[in-house]
């Protein structure tokens, strides 16, 4: 131990330069277009600082239970910007009694949430900017060609676990706010920057922030959408099925009933359920998706011995929930589909498939495409990138579902990372996209919250 470690101040965070009063706010800056060039210039000049901030966040290795170091970086950034910063460890016992709670753990020590509030002058609409700091594990390290925690930069990409999902997006939020603060812009509505834990296992961090009282007129969640805007997000529920058989010696297998063979009609029923549910979806936002709301079986375990008839198979998977569909309706439809197997196979009348809902759950989210929020974000996208955004629906669940259903804060998902690399080896984010989203976020805040005169 080097005793000097205890007295070393945290490194400076140039990406969070405090409000720059040498550039007084221009009275002409009242619309997003007025601010486009100043914001872009400010971001261009801080490209290296943005890379540095993202690097430090990736290197902080914030897998579940280890989020504190990364959260300290975020909290420090928000403090330098002059926001009111709230840091707390979610209270496990209270949270785990919440009907919307979903997490494999109930102790959040070492996993603080961070929220920074930029109070508006009043009379404007408020916005929550919600990024999650937790990242999924590295997985098989041999599949990586780079050190997942080194945050290498190569040809405009920053590599590392969490770069795309979603520290790149969180840096976009932090930079967007930093640009406006540094340019001296004053907003009418409040901006609430949230860096939450536990999104990857069902949203306990966002739930804790909602229960702490944070609400707004809208939310923006920069998950890796590949620069597409997702007004609708599908929900996702984990299920476990147990298929019963009757054990016997393999040499007299006709005396038993193979749970593995009985799993075949179960898989067929799930495939049929998926087809039926997706046939009902005529939302044009899903037009580009081969299976808008999948039912996926992720694991099958069954049988103990080559010479035995297996008496039990367990399947685990995820059921997609259609935006706007009550979770209970999706659950009931799946239960009915499994119950109907008995119509064709009387074994199941006496040995019905057991269905459990366990583990993670993400609620669906749904904001109207014609809403002010989507229109504003789309217009600012055009301001910055000179083209129309792609509007689509998400293939996965996000914390936007909780924000809407529990926090009464409808949200849109839009971020610089890409799903194709999130959760995979050699995850990366393109730095240009991080800066572009930062500019779009800044201008959307100007538009949504309004500029105080």
Q: Does 400 bind Zn ion (CB under 5 A)?
A: no
**Identity of the residue, 73 or 185, whose beta carbon is nearer to Zn ion in the bound complex:** 73
CA distances to 17, 204, 208, 247, 401 from 199, rounded to whole Å, are: 29, 7, 11, 41, 11
**Does position 73 bind Zn ion by CB under 5 A?**
no
Q: Which stretch binds Zn ion (CB under 5 A): 92-100, 176-184, 215-223, 372-380?
A: 215-223
Supply the minimum distance, in Å, between the C-beta of residue 187 and Zn ion. 27
Q: Toward Zn ion, which CB reaches closer, 265 or 417?
A: 417
Q: According to CB under 5 A, which residues from 218 to 247 bind Zn ion? A: 223
Which residue among the candidates 49, 86, 134, 274 is catalytic per the annotation? 134
Asked if 197 is part of the footprint of Zn ion (rule: CB under 5 A), the reply reads: no
Under the criterion CB under 5 A, does residue 134 sit at the interface with Zn ion? Answer: no
How far apart are CB 221 and Zn ion at their closest, in Å? 9
| Piece of 3-11, 92-100, 161-169, 387-395 that binds Zn ion (CB under 5 A) | 161-169
Alpha carbons 317 and 300: distance in angstroms, whole number: 9
Is there binding between residue 13 and Zn ion (CB under 5 A)? no
CB of 201 to Zn ion, least distance (A): 11
CB atoms under 10 Å from CB of 284, counted, come to 10
Residue 49 phi/psi, 5-degree rounding, is -65, -35
- Of the pair 233, 278, the CB lying nearest Zn ion is at 233
Residue with tokens 């009387």: 346
Distance CA 300, CA 315 (A): 4
Residues in contact with Zn ion, counted by CB under 5 A, come to a total of: 3
DSSP conformation letters of 23-35: SPPPTT--SHHHH
Binding of Zn ion at residue 163 (CB under 5 A)?
no
Select 166 or 191, whichever has its Cβ closest to Zn ion. 166
Q: Which of the 8 DSSP states describes residue 122?
A: S
List the one residue from 165, 311, 325, 366 that touches Zn ion (CB under 5 A).
Answer: 165
SS (H, E, C) 149-196: CCCCEECCEEECCCHHHHHHHHHHHHHHHHHHHHCCCCECCCEEEEEE
Q: Which one of 13, 49, 67, 199 is the catalytic residue?
A: 199
Q: Are 393 and 286 in contact (CB under 8 A)?
A: yes
In sequence order, what DSSP letters do the residues of 182-235 get, joined into one string? HTT--BSS-EEEEEES-GGGT-HHHHHHHHTT---SEEEE----TT-EEEEE-E
Does 134 participate in catalysis according to the annotation?
yes
Nearest CB to Zn ion, comparing residues 223 and 366? 223
3-state secondary structure of 320: strand
Distance, in Å, from the CA atom of 240 to the CA atom of 230, rounded to the nearest integer, reads 29
Is 350 a catalytic site residue? no
The whole-angstrom separation of Cα 417 and Cα 225 is: 6
| Choice from 57, 80, 151, 166 touching Zn ion (CB under 5 A) | 166
Question: To the nearest whole angstrom, how small is the minimum distance from the Cβ of residue 169 to Zn ion?
Answer: 8
Sheet arrangement for strand 235-244: 295-302, 312-321, 235-244, 354-362
DSSP reduced 3-state for 41: helix
* Stretch of residues binding Zn ion (CB under 5 A), selected from 4-12, 166-174, 349-357, 379-387: 166-174
Closest distance between Zn ion and the C-beta of residue 136, in Å? 8
Stretch that binds Zn ion, among 51-59, 93-101, 163-171, 186-194 (CB under 5 A): 163-171
Residue placing its CB nearer to Zn ion in the complex, 161 or 181: 161
Question: Among residues 278 and 398, whose Cβ is nearest to Zn ion?
Answer: 398
Closest among 279, 218, 259, 200 to 445, alpha carbons compared: 218
Name the 3-class secondary structure at 453.
coil
Considering beta carbons, is residue 182 or 233 the nearer one to Zn ion? 233
Q: At closest approach, how far in Å is the CB of 399 from Zn ion?
A: 8
Residue 108 CB, shortest distance to Zn ion, in Å, is: 18
Nearest position to Zn ion, beta carbon: 165
| Nearest distance in Å: CB 222, Zn ion | 9
Binding interface with Zn ion (CB under 5 A): 165-166, 223
Tell me the catalytic residues: 134, 199
């Amino acid at each position: 131990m080097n005793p000097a470690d205890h007295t070393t101040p945290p490194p400076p965070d140039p990406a969070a330069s405090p409000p720059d009063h040498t550039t007084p706010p221009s009275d002409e800056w009242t619309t997003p277009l007025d601010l486009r060039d100043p914001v872009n210039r400010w971001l261009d000049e801080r490209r290296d600082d943005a890379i540095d901030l993202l690097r430090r966040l990736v290197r902080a290795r914030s897998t579940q239970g280890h989020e504190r170091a990364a959260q300290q970086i975020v909290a420090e950034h928000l403090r330098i910007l002059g926001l009111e910063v709230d840091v707390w460890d979610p209270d496990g016992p209270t949270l785990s009694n919440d009907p919307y709670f979903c997490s494999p753990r109930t102790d959040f020590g070492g996993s603080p949430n961070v929220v920074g509030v930029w109070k508006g002058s009043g009379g404007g609409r408020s916005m929550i900017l919600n990024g999650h700091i937790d990242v999924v594990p590295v997985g098989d390290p041999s599949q990586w060609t780079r050190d997942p925690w080194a945050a290498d930069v190569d040809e405009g990409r920053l590599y590392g676990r969490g770069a795309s999902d979603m520290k790149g997006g969180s840096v976009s939020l932090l930079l967007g706010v930093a640009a406006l603060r540094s340019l001296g812009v004053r907003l009418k509505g409040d901006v609430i920057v949230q860096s939450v834990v536990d999104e990857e296992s069902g949203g306990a961090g966002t739930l804790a922030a909602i229960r702490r009282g944070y609400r707004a007129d809208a939310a923006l969640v920069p998950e890796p959408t590949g620069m597409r805007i997702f007004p609708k997000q599908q929900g996702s529920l984990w299920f476990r099925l147990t298929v019963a058989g009757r054990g016997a010696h393999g040499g007299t297998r006709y005396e038993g009933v193979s749970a593995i063979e009985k799993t075949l009609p179960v898989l067929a029923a799930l495939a049929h359920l998926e087809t039926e549910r997706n046939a009902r979806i005529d939302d044009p936002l899903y037009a580009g998706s081969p299976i808008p709301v999948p039912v996926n079986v992720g694991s099958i375990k069954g049988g103990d011995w080559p010479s035995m008839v297996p008496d039990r198979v367990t399947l685990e998977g995820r059921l997609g929930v259609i935006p706007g569909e009550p979770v209970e309706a999706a659950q009931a439809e799946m239960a009915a589909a499994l119950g109907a197997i008995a119509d064709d196979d009387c074994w199941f009348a006496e040995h019905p498939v057991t269905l459990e809902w366990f583990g993670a759950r993400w609620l669906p989210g749904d904001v109207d495409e014609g809403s002010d929020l989507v229109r504003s974000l789309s217009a600012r996208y055009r301001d910055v990138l000179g083209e129309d955004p792609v509007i689509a629906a998400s293939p996965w669940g996000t914390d936007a579902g909780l924000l809407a259903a529990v926090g009464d804060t409808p949200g849109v998902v839009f971020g610089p990372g890409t799903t194709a690399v999130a959760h995979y080896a050699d995850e990366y984010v393109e730095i240009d996209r991080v800066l572009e989203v930062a500019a779009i976020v800044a201008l959307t805040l100007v538009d949504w919250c309004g500029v105080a005169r």
